[in-house]
């Protein structure tokens, strides 16, 4: 069997891989604590579930327009106006099978072979892989804890070439939880405008902000910046709807049309019932969003101090999302492991705690821990990590 060459370039998702291994151990009867989840541990709010059930009973189980139901597009437009003051036309919105699928459509519609996309590291694991699948070239910019994992215009100056097509910004970030504030974004936007670089703004964690921090979309800077920005978002993280698979893009109508054409020959429309659920999510009460945010904030503030007290662990406190991204290189070396990935594998084998190695995010010295799990489970996982460290420290 001769597979397509583009498949050979793809690196499997490290988050899905660690989740699968943890699942296998759990199926064998082991008490596994998984900290790899990229989804809220809360159930979808009842009023959203009720709306979906009503849609089913009303017979809304047929094909819909490829780019999404008109009512859902309008709900998204209303949400964008309410939250950021944006004005969009329905022709500037596409709904897809989750934000990941929308990003895939975007790269397929946007990139020609050899086009470069700048991706700050640490990055979400699928960004570079999707760029490669579209024939593009991912160009990584390394960042550090000292700079709060954020790039600057100077960083962009060193990375830009004549082939640069777009920049990906993810704020709040998966995996670091860092947020780009307005002052951070102004010089980045100016650079992109000067060089004609499209800005892909992944805002999927915008509602999960903690400890007095605020979210600001780069597209809010000016109409000129907005015209050069593709906003990616969805209901997965904000409304605990990961399995419903509804995400969207807001962008130039010509680009949205091209993405719709790609979707029309691949997945067609998003699931009809899920779209009705998303309409309810955006048009209904937002109390559940705030309740979930408060629960995550409490977990973060409880476990963070305990995590950084572990010898050899260094971690900047996240401002959003629901991940901790500590550098454990010193802790790993103290345990006799030359690679953090080996430390991660042994931790799962011995203590049955699943964390995600940082290599998939472009930073092999780190690990990602999700606090989208109960406080009790997270603290139990820390107990096991501390036990593992004491047992192995030379």
Q: Could you tell me if 162 and 69 lie in one domain?
A: yes
Q: Is the pLDDT of residue 243 over 80?
A: yes
Read off the CATH number of the domain in which 248 is found: 3.40.640.10
Residue 257 preceded by cis peptide, ω within 30? no
What percent of the chain clears pLDDT 70, i.e. is strictly above it?
100
Q: Is the pLDDT of residue 9 over 90?
A: no
Q: What pLDDT score was predicted for residue 14?
A: 72
Instruction: Give residue 23's pLDDT band: very low, low, confident or very high (50, 70, 90).
Output: confident
Q: 40 φ, ψ to 5°?
A: -60, 145
Q: Could you tell me if 240 and 164 lie in one domain?
A: yes
Q: Is the pLDDT of residue 299 over 90?
A: yes
Q: What pLDDT score was predicted for residue 269?
A: 98
Long-range residue pairs from 213-218, CB within 8 A, at least 24 positions apart, any chain: 213/179, 213/319, 213/320, 214/179, 214/181, 215/171, 215/172, 215/179, 215/320, 216/180, 216/181, 216/182, 216/185, 217/84, 218/169, 218/180, 218/185, 218/188, 218/189
Domain presence at residue 53:
no
Return d(Cα 386, Cα 136) in angstroms, integer. Answer: 43
Q: Could you tell me if 81 and 35 lie in one domain?
A: no
Query: Domains in the chain: how many in total?
Result: 2
Tell me the per-residue pLDDT of 310-349, one tens digit each, with 9 for 90 and over.
999 999 999 999 999 999 999 999 999 999 999 999 999 9
Q: Could you tell me if 279 and 292 lie in one domain?
A: no
Q: Is the pLDDT of residue 285 over 80?
A: yes
Return d(Cα 212, Cα 203) in angstroms, integer. Answer: 18
Q: What pLDDT score was predicted for residue 139?
A: 98
Return d(Cα 220, Cα 241) in angstroms, integer. Answer: 26
Q: Report, as an integer, the average pLDDT of 163-182.
A: 98
Residue where one domain finishes, among candidates 261, 283, 305? 283
Return d(Cα 152, Cα 303) in angstroms, integer. Answer: 30
Residue where one domain finishes, among candidates 228, 248, 283? 283
Q: What pLDDT score was predicted for residue 50?
A: 98
Domain presence at residue 137:
yes
Q: What's the CA dihedral at 79, 83, 89, 92 to 10 degrees?
A: -90
Q: What pLDDT score was predicted for residue 148?
A: 97
Q: What pLDDT score was predicted for residue 260?
A: 98
Does residue 118 contact residue 164 with C-beta atoms inside 8 Å?
Answer: yes
Instruction: Give residue 196's pLDDT band: very low, low, confident or very high (50, 70, 90).
Output: very high
Q: Which residues pair with 164 in a beta bridge?
A: 116
Please tell me whether residue 270 adopts helix, strand or coil conformation: coil
Query: Which residue range is the domain that position 116 belongs to?
Result: 62-283
Q: What burial letters (b/e) apply to 91-118, b meaning 16+ CB within 10 Å?
A: ebbbbbbbbbbbbbbbbbbbbeeebbbb
Q: What pLDDT score was predicted for residue 11?
A: 83
Q: What pLDDT score was predicted for residue 10?
A: 87
Residue 122 preceded by cis peptide, ω within 30? yes
Predicted TM-score (pTM) of the model is 0.97
Instruction: Give residue 212's pLDDT band: very low, low, confident or very high (50, 70, 90).
Output: very high
Tell me the per-residue pLDDT of 357-389, one tens digit each, with 9 for 90 and over.
999 999 999 999 999 999 999 999 999 999 999
Closest by Cα among 370, 365, 371 to 143: 365
Q: Report, as an integer, the average pLDDT of 275-297.
A: 98
Q: Could you tell me if 337 and 190 lie in one domain?
A: no
CB atoms inside a 10 Å sphere around CB 179: 23
Q: Could you tell me if 93 and 130 lie in one domain?
A: yes
Q: Report, as an integer, the average pLDDT of 249-256.
A: 98
Q: Could you tell me if 296 and 276 lie in one domain?
A: no
Q: Could you tell me if 115 and 17 lie in one domain?
A: no
Q: What pLDDT score was predicted for residue 62?
A: 98
Read off the CATH number of the domain in which 324 is found: 3.90.1150.10
Q: Could you tell me if 255 and 192 lie in one domain?
A: yes
Q: Is the pLDDT of residue 17 over 80?
A: no
Q: Is the pLDDT of residue 12 over 80?
A: no
Sign of CA dihedral 187, 190, 196, 202: positive
């Amino acid at each position: 069997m001769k597979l397509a060459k583009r498949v050979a370039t793809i690196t499997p998702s490290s988050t899905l891989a660690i989740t699968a291994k943890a699942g296998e151990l759990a199926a064998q009867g082991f008490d596994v604590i998984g900290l790899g989840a990229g989804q809220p541990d809360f159930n979808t709010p009842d009023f959203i579930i009720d709306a979906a059930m009503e849609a089913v009973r009303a017979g809304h189980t047929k094909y819909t327009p490829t780019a999404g139901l008109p009512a859902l597009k309008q709900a998204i437009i209303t949400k964008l106006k309410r939250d950021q003051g944006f004005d969009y036309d329905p022709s500037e919105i596409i709904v897809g099978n989750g934000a990941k699928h929308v990003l895939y459509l975007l790269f397929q519609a946007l990139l020609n072979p050899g086009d470069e996309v700048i991706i700050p590291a640490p990055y979400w694991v699928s960004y570079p892989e999707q760029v490669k699948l579209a024939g593009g070239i991912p160009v990584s910019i390394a960042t550090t804890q000292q700079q709060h994992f954020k790039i600057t215009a100077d960083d962009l100056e060193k990375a830009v070439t004549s082939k640069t097509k777009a920049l990906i910004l993810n704020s709040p970030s998966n995996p670091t939880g860092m947020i780009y504030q307005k002052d951070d974004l102004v010089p980045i936007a100016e650079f992109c405008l000067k060089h004609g670089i499209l800005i892909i703004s992944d805002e999927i964690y915008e509602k999960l902000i903690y400890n007095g921090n605020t979210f600001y979309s780069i597209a809010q800077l000016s109409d000129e910046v907005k015209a050069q920005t593709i906003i990616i978002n969805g209901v997965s993280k904000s409304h605990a709807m990961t399995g419903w698979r509804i995400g969207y893009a807001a962008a130039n109508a010509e680009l949205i049309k091209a993405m719709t054409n790609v979707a029309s020959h691949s997945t067609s429309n998003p699931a009809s019932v899920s779209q009705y659920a998303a309409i309810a999510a955006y048009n209904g009460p937002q109390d559940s969003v705030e309740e979930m945010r408060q629960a995550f904030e409490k977990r973060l503030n409880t476990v963070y101090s305990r995590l950084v007290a572990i010898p050899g662990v260094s971690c900047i406190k996240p401002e959003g999302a629901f991940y901790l991204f500590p550098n454990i290189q010193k802790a790993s070396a103290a345990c006799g492991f030359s690679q953090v990935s080996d430390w991660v594998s042994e931790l799962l084998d011995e203590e049955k705690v699943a964390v995600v190695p940082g290599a998939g995010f472009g930073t092999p010295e780190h690990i990602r821990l999700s606090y989208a799990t109960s406080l009790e489970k997270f603290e139990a996982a820390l107990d096991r990590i501390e036990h593992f460290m004491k047992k192995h420290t030379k």
